[in-house]
């Protein structure tokens, strides 16, 4: 035991809870497996308790029973009997609780206290590093985020579920799908018929990667998806809530694009201010529609995954009564700041993609992340991007539930109309792969359902 070097106070501890855990296991060794889901030996504050708990865990690993005699013999062989206070202290632990029924509750108290100690320790290290001034401010912030995240991970508890429970949940979800008007769409509709037919919409807990070379139209396509989602439900007065992280473009530019897309007013005319009265009326009507939507835009550059996740959680909590957040879009993945800038770039991107998947599962919503692909596709005869072209990390391909590669054939073959966009669904865990075609209305920054015979949109 040592005092806190900055405050000269003992760190938080719960001796009674620690004794309750150890005594409970001695009374009922079967509770050890439950306790182990919550704590490890390092979570105990007192050194003697750490050694006793570790000895118990070792006995369980060795398929040995746990009682006073066997535990004493194990500690004696480890030459730790004197460290833990002798056989008398083991007897004290046995007598500390009458039953093992509360061992799990005591373990949670131990875990909570350990997390508080970890937070104090991390805060002290952050303070020391900040006062030393041997690193830049950005490096200090990055280290601080990583240390806090390490403390947060200590609170993650594993959970198992019986197959009978999971099967019931599966049938409940099936019932909800059967009750929908559109049986083909079980997720959040994208607004594009062919995409919804192939994917059944955007599904909860899934990470969707939308990738392409620069200037193909990733941001425009993502904005169109978001627009289609947030304009749903106007008839009932409950449009979904969406969050758009723009790490590249300013929010005012995104707003202009949405206005042009919704109003079908030429974006070039908007940029130059050459608008007639009809254009202004269309823009005003589009503005009225978009004001009813619940889209939040965060255009703060240099966002980390910790900051992105915190913003998403706050928005989810804010709209909890209305069903919470329904969709997150991030433009784009490779611009997210890594937690540790010293890591190799491939490892940084791998950590980011994994955290994006964790965020989708935690919030139980689809997360769309845009991504860049390398130049390899430009050297192929068909110029079509593949999953292997994703820049800087193959883990993006691994973590994605669905991956869409955007391709504009007209840029290469000289025959296809330039307003044709091919969406190559290169990966889908729970559905088919294939290609979908959309029409690109460049002047409106708008994508529409494609009609093959005329190459025109249907007005979506």
Continuous segment of H or E residues that includes residue 331: strand 325-331
Among 193, 265, 253, which Cα is nearest to 223's?
253
Nearest 5°: CA angle at 40, between 103 and 304?
120
- pLDDT of 460 > 80? The answer is no
Residue 175 makes CB contacts below 8 A (sequence gap 6+) with none
Residue 148 shares a structural domain with residue 191: no
Tokens of 63: 């398929």
Residue 130 shares a structural domain with residue 82: yes
Percent of the chain at pLDDT exceeding 90: 23
Cα separation of 418 and 190, whole Å? 23
Residue 203 shares a structural domain with residue 76: no
Residue 170 lies in a domain: no
Residue 442 or 403, more confident: 403
Give strand pairing partners of 406.
423
pLDDT at position 458 is: 47
Residue 193 shares a structural domain with residue 46: no
Max mean pLDDT range (119-123, 310-314, 317-321, 440-444): 119-123
CATH of the domain at 318: 3.40.50.300
Cα separation of 392 and 347, whole Å? 9
Residue 344 shares a structural domain with residue 395: yes
Q: Is the dihedral of CA 163, 168, 173, 178 positive or negative?
A: positive
CATH of the domain at 126: 1.10.860.10
Phi-psi region of 374 (alpha: psi -120 to 50; beta: other; left: phi over 0): beta
Residue 77 makes CB contacts below 8 A (sequence gap 6+) with none
Q: Tell me which residue range forms the domain holding 28.
A: 15-153
Residue 192 shares a structural domain with residue 308: yes
pLDDT at position 110 is: 94
The structural domain count of the chain equals 2
Residue 173 lies in a domain: no
Q: What does the pLDDT look like over 87-117, one tens digit per residue?
A: 899 999 999 899 888 999 999 999 999 999 9
Q: How far is CA 307 from the centre of its chain?
A: 11
Residue 400 shares a structural domain with residue 290: yes
Residue 275 shares a structural domain with residue 394: yes
pLDDT at position 446 is: 86
- CA distances to 229, 298, 312, 433 from 328, rounded to whole Å, are 11, 11, 8, 23
Average pLDDT over residues 127-140: 84
Q: What's this model's pTM, rounded to 2 decimal places?
A: 0.68
Residue 225 shares a structural domain with residue 364: yes
Q: What does the pLDDT look like over 159-189, one tens digit per residue?
A: 566 776 777 777 776 676 665 555 456 788 8
Residue 323 shares a structural domain with residue 426: yes
Rounded to 10 degrees, the C-alpha dihedral 340/341/343/347 comes to 80
Tokens of 405: 């590669």
Q: Worst-scoring range by mean pLDDT, 201-210, 316-325, 412-421?
A: 412-421
pLDDT at position 230 is: 86
Residue 9 lies in a domain: no
pLDDT at position 370 is: 93
Average pLDDT over residues 278-294: 84
DSSP H stretches of helix in 62-186: 68-77, 81-84, 86-96, 103-132, 137-153, 163-178
Cα separation of 447 and 193, whole Å? 12
- pLDDT of 395 > 60? The answer is yes
- pLDDT of 325 > 50? The answer is yes
Residue 257 lies in a domain: yes
pLDDT at position 4 is: 47
Average pLDDT over residues 310-331: 85
Cα separation of 345 and 457, whole Å? 41
Tokens of 379: 């050297």
Residue 129 lies in a domain: yes
Q: What does the pLDDT look like over 430-456, one tens digit per residue?
A: 888 888 988 888 888 888 887 754 444
- For the chain, the average pLDDT equals 82
Q: State which of 104, 136, 153 marks the end of a domain.
A: 153
Residue 221 shares a structural domain with residue 72: no
- pLDDT of 60 > 60? The answer is yes
Residue 94 lies in a domain: yes
Q: Worst-scoring range by mean pLDDT, 18-32, 105-119, 270-284?
A: 270-284
Residue 5 lies in a domain: no
Per-residue pLDDT band at 270 (split at 50, 70, 90)? confident
Average pLDDT over residues 411-427: 79
Q: What does the pLDDT look like over 226-254, one tens digit per residue?
A: 988 888 755 445 678 899 998 888 888 88
Residue 144 shares a structural domain with residue 186: no
């Amino acid at each position: 035991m040592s005092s806190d070097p900055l405050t000269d106070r003992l760190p938080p501890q719960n001796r009674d809870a620690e004794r309750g855990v150890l005594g409970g296991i001695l009374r009922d060794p079967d509770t050890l497996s439950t306790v182990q889901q919550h704590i490890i030996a390092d979570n105990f504050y007192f050194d003697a308790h750490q050694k006793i708990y570790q000895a118990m865990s070792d006995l369980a690993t060795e398929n040995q029973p746990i009682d006073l005699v066997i535990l004493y013999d194990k500690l004696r062989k480890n030459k730790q009997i004197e460290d833990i206070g002798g056989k008398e202290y083991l007897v004290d632990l046995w007598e500390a609780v009458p039953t093992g029924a509360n061992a799990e509750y005591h373990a949670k108290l131990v875990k909570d206290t350990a997390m508080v100690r970890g937070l104090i320790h991390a805060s002290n290290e952050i303070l020391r590093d900040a006062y030393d001034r041997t690193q830049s401010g950005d490096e200090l912030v990055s280290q601080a985020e990583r240390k806090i995240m390490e403390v947060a991970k200590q609170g993650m508890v594993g959970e198992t579920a019986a197959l009978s429970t999971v099967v019931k949940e599966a049938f409940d979800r099936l019932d909800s799908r059967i009750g929908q008007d559109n049986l083909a769409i079980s997720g959040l509709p994208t607004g594009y018929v062919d995409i919804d037919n192939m994917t059944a919409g955007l599904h909860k807990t899934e990470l969707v990667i939308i990738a392409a070379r620069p200037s193909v139209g990733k941001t425009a396509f993502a904005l169109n998806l978001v627009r289609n989602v947030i304009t749903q439900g106007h008839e009932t007065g409950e449009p979904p809530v969406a969050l758009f992280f723009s790490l590249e473009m300013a929010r005012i530019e995104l707003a202009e694009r949405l206005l042009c897309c919704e109003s079908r007013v030429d974006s070039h005319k908007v940029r130059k201010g050459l608008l007639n009265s009809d254009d202004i009326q269309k823009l005003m009507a589009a503005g009225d529609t978009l004001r009813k939507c619940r889209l939040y835009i965060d255009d703060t550059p240099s966002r980390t995954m910790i900051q992105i996740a915190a913003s998403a959680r706050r928005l989810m909590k804010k709209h909890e009564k209305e069903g919470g957040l329904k969709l997150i879009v991030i433009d784009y993945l490779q611009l997210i700041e890594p937690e540790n800038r010293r890591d190799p770039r491939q490892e940084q991107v791998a950590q980011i993609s994994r955290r994006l998947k964790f965020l989708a599962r935690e919030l139980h919503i689809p997360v769309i992340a845009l991504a860049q692909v390398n130049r390899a596709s430009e050297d192929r005869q068909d110029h079509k991007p593949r999953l292997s072209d994703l820049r800087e990390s193959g883990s993006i391909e691994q973590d994605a539930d669905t991956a869409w590669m955007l391709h504009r054939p007209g840029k290469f073959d000289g025959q296809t109309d330039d307003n044709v966009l091919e969406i190559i669904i290169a990966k889908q865990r729970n559905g088919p792969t294939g290609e979908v075609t959309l029409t690109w209305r460049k002047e409106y920054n708008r994508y529409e359902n494609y009609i093959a015979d005329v190459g025109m949109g249907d007005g979506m």
